[in-house]
Amino acid sequence: MLAPGLQGKPGGLSPKPTCTLTFDDGWRDFYEYAFPLLKQKRIPATVFLPTGFIGTNQWFWTDVLAHLLLEQPDGDIRERKDEMPKDPVARRILTSEGHFEQRLEKSIELLKGYKLNVVESILGDLGYKCKMNPADRDRLFLSWDELQEMAESGLISFGSHTDNHHILTTLAESEIVKELQESRDKLLAQGIVKADFIPFCCPNGNYTERIADMVKKAGYSVAVTTRRLWNRRECDPYTLKRIGIHQDMASTESLFACRVANIF
């Protein structure tokens, strides 16, 4: 994502807008594909890390859901009533209509409003035909060694994306504090951030004014959301806006320019 704003300098603001290149989630493919290109072009970027997933073969629940939907047996599940899951939300997901991408998108939006333990229970019910052993999963996230190598390049900096990638608006305040503190402590312990500047990124972009204040009190320096617009000097540094960039939005220079200009 782009975090656009205006460049400050002595005597005023530059007439030219500037932006910060950011990447969420700490995927392993950032190291494999994006980092070599950024290094070649000498372009700096910031990666926000869900620290509890780094160096593990854990998956986000969204990826588990995609796997379960892909593994769904052939045929109309509604014709096999004896095989239907007990949970009504799981039944709703399995009987949803449309192609895979549509079903996955609708299912993710449906589950985002639940706390993680509820989501995991629903996924467990969905997995009645597909038991996923975590030990058999591919590693999707960066390792600490890969992070250290990128940090030493002087181009890539890192921030927190919480510890377990919980959507903070679904948590109690004590749980939010734990997510913020544990992630910050791990980043400092690994030596890939310095205490005087640690950025934060809200999972899914969800936040409230109270959460923004908690992020500040937890020792973070700035925080970004997924709200779309440009930032100015007077913006709250704990609710910074960004512009999401995906492959379809950058397939041509014209599309990319329209996206950055907030036309669509």
C-alpha span between 174 and 87 (Å, rounded): 29
Instruction: Say what the pLDDT of residue 5 is.
Output: 59
Q: What CATH architecture does domain 2-58+140-260 belong to? A: Alpha-Beta Barrel (3.20)
C-alpha span between 201 and 215 (Å, rounded): 10
Residue 186: which residues within 8 A CB-CB, separation 6 or more? 51, 52, 54, 163
Question: Tokens 């504090």 sit at which residue?
Answer: 177
Residue 190: which residues within 8 A CB-CB, separation 6 or more? 144, 147, 148
Show the DSSP H helices in 23-76 as ranges. Answer: 28-29, 35-41, 61-70
Instruction: Say what the pLDDT of residue 8 is.
Output: 45
Instruction: Say what the pLDDT of residue 128 is.
Output: 54
- Paired residues of 47 in beta bridges: 23, 158
Tokens of 190: 């690994």
For helices 61-70 and 100-111, what crossing angle results, to 10°? 140
pTM for the whole structure = 0.85
Question: Structural domain boundaries of the chain?
Answer: 2-58+140-260, 61-136
Q: What is the pLDDT along the chain (264 residues), one digit of tens a residue?
A: 666 654 444 445 566 778 889 999 999 999 999 999 999 999 999 999 999 999 999 999 999 999 888 877 654 444 455 566 778 888 888 888 888 889 999 999 999 988 888 998 888 888 755 555 555 678 899 999 999 999 999 999 999 999 999 999 999 999 999 999 999 999 999 999 999 999 999 999 999 999 999 999 999 999 999 998 888 888 999 999 998 888 777 788 888 888 877 777
